[in-house]
Chains A and B, each alone.
Chain A
């Protein structure tokens, strides 16, 4: 008996069912978003996107079986090798990469291509889990923090110039395992404060934000009048914040390119241009709004059928769900995603092995960032950042990347009973 059949009963079938549900619903919507009504082709023609996606799905099931049949220890043992291989594959793009619609993010093999950045996420998660679970690593020391940051930052740094800043943004997800393992909450506070100040500065202008900072500082100073400690911090922090606000304003106006500024302005409602820069978001909102309570029905979405939403089978796939399946269908998808992430976090907490726990948190974090940014973009809450919706969006590399990411965790989790 090999390890695969021994641990079949140990695999978390809830995760596997959620995975299958999301992949199937995704395929149905890719079918709807990509069929051309007036083009008659065979139902199993490789020129059809949904046929291609079906093949990717079948192949990813093969990958699933392969991963589950490996030794669980394999991933921990070979984490560094996998990570370095992944980094090399990212670097190799600068020599052998194929340029598809403006980004050199693919290796082409004949008629199909692979995107190494989709696999780098799993590799980085493994490397981070390996490093943090090392008995000598103490995440509370600055030196080890820097090393951990380096592990996370290297792939991101390689990805940004492809250019694919969206995929690089995903690496922010590793904050979650780091925090879980004891990273100081200061980072969280600093990070959140920066984001809030950034958005506020753009939304209401730097002067109001500075006035608000000063007001808060003065109130706190008056209340802390009697205490001697921590007073100096109350003088320094507002100055740092104000400096940040000014630099945000400067960077936004002088460093950002117009297209970046436009994306923020569209979301902040400053720019109501619906024809050019705001077109995607506008059409996507129309399509979703068109769904109503129960949706227009499968293949009946007028916006979907009319191809009004650009990239609807990839990054904007959720708008098809919104239009054809309505509020009922789209909240079901939200529910499935939230359920999957909760289950992963729950299982991660149950891991006795620190490596598995860190990896589980990384998986949940990565899925969360994708979920947050993608659906936020499609529903018009966040600016346009081109990253796919896991298991849903059309594309083989993405599907394979997420499948590998998820099923390594399923394997690690299934091995839980064999620990000690």
Chain B
């Protein structure tokens, strides 16, 4: 027995250690990953970001090299200070100050001495920098904008934040990522894949050679060029027209769903967010809380659609069979309803009117009648509202449209749940008249300019639309996702569109936009004038009406459909109608014949209007 003790414990401990080693080295893999974090550092090789072209192949966004003079303090050998200062065009004091700062940051890691040299400065320095050990020139790539417009849909590039890093393992601190617009939406296409070099480090983070002789290293994959559906000439022209106005313009090719122009006003020069001044410029744009240039009104602005919405109510009424095209309704300066004689006012026009002149003259009384009949067709107003809501949903209203840009709003189309809650049903009952503002596109109904343009395209196509999109192709290949090649049919039969299209045509013939005809082009349109309110010191205050216009042209086989919103632009044809007319002419004829009309828009500003609610003094509206 006594002989066995030591032998036994020796054997047991030998077995225990073997087991422990088996666990650490074979079973437990976590330490391998840990050790790679510990000892292996990745060095990245960033590929060129893809270029962005417009639909005609015009280059919109490319890259510009930028050159930084870098220093690694530990590697600096004695050098001719005066000569270097002359080369770098800096004073001796400044150079010493930069070098000290670099040394304090880290003697081993590179620091910037002079950031962002131009190409010509670089060419001059390139030859001479070699004799200064410890100094070198680091090339970086920045966006180079060929155009000074379109910032809202192009987006910009910025350093990743912690949230990006957490969400996507690809990114590491210091990487660049697309923000907003196309840069964000097609980030993975544009950025390519960075190459990685594994370098072995010691515990002081010094390089001690390639890891596994570089067998794991990868080459960068360059970013792909993309072509947008945007017509840069139309975009540029639209942005010029929208100067000193706020709002948004969307132009779509109804036959394809391609976005021809996407104008948010006010806009800014995309080049502001590149280079040395980026941070300062971004702050300036961000802090402009009055005109909010970073707020993309065309995708995120939710406005009452106003009278263009009447075309939808007409279509729904026809589909529901509650009205005949030729049936006329009287208008006595408005529509009187309810037991207490409430009135939905209207402007001056001939009476009575049937559907086509009703649309052309935008008669509120006509649409109040038609809307009531639609809702009251069903036993309860709840059912009526639901049917009405479903028809509108088939046009993409009240929901995100699904276009290929990262920002947007769903707008709102009320349903029975909303009214039940608002009117405390079933404690109190509500009737179709309580929702009567819906008939003229006011009240609870809100849409974005993008949604309204899509509705216009659907009407132009007589009942279907492609989801709007901004991507034409990637590297010349037909790479549009399936969802943008699928026709969406509305719940309205094609035959019911003819009278509505005729009504919109007559808007130009003799209706609310008769002054805005374009010689030689058959345009269909619809004006809109939407009441709107704001809060000043907690009080609800009405502001000057929004000017809204939707249009498509030509009447048959349409090439362009658009929606124009101009905030506080008085009435439909005053601003929005003119801008729509000019843009259609620009797109279809490539030239403007009505210079006086163009001058009027270019020279008129709504800045005074936007000042009113901020002035702190009483003001008049629509004046």
Residues of A participating in the B interface, judged by any CB pair closer than 8 Å: 37-38, 176, 179-180, 182, 188, 283, 285-293, 302-303, 305-308, 322, 326-327, 330-331, 334-335, 337-338, 341-342, 345, 349, 361, 364-365, 368, 371-372, 375-376, 379-381
Contacts and interface: CB of A to CB of B under 8 A. Distances in A.
A302 B25 contact: no
A334 B25 contact: no
A179 B4 CA distance: 11
A286 B203 CA distance: 14
Given A305-B202, A322-B21, A286 B35 contact: yes
A349 B21 contact: no
A23 B22 CA distance: 24
B277 interface: no
Contacts of A326: 25
30 contacts: A37-B202, A37-B208, A38-B206, A176-B5, A286-B31, A287-B35, A289-B29, A289-B34, A292-B26, A293-B25, A293-B26, A302-B35, A302-B39, A302-B40, A303-B38, A305-B200, A305-B202, A305-B208, A322-B21, A327-B21, A327-B22, A327-B26, A334-B21, A335-B14, A341-B10, A342-B11, A345-B7, A379-B17, A379-B21, A381-B16
A334 B211 CA distance: 30
Among A286, A305, A334, chain B packs the most CB atoms within 10 A around the CB of A286
B16 to A, nearest CB: 8
A286 B38 contact: yes
Interface in B396-448: none
Given A180-B3, A286-B38, A302-B40, A291 B25 contact: yes
Contacts of A291: 25
Interface in B1-33: 2-3, 5-7, 9-11, 13-14, 16-18, 20-22, 24-26, 28-32
B9 A368 contact: yes
Contacts of B28: 289
A172 B306 CA distance: 95
Contacts of A381: 16, 20
Contacts of B16: 381
Given A372-B13, A381-B20, A303 B39 contact: yes
B21 A331 contact: yes
Given A288-B24, A334-B17, A376-B17, 14 more contacts: A38-B208, A286-B38, A287-B35, A289-B29, A293-B25, A302-B40, A302-B211, A305-B39, A305-B202, A327-B21, A335-B14, A342-B10, A349-B3, A381-B16
A306 B7 contact: no
A289 B24 contact: yes
B38 A331 contact: no
B24 A379 contact: yes
Contacts of B10: 338, 341-342, 345, 364, 368
A255 B22 CA distance: 37
A338 B11 CA distance: 7
B21 A286 contact: no
B201 interface: yes
Among B25, B32, B209, chain A packs the most CB atoms within 10 A around the CB of B25
Contact of B7 (A334, A342, A371, A379): A342
A285 B25 contact: no
A331 B40 CA distance: 27
Contacts of B20: 379-381
A167 B231 CA distance: 83
B18 A306 contact: no
Contact of B200 (A287, A306, A337, A365): A306
A231 B29 CA distance: 53
Contacts of A305: 39, 200, 202, 208
Q: Rank and list the top 10 A-B pairs by shortest CB-CB distance, nearest first.
A: A289-B31, A302-B39, A338-B14, A290-B35, A306-B39, A306-B202, A327-B25, A289-B24, A286-B31, A37-B208
A180 B1 CA distance: 9
B25 A306 contact: no
A308 B38 contact: yes
Contacts of A334: 14, 17-18, 21
A322 B24 contact: yes
Nearest to A295: B25
Contacts of A337: 14
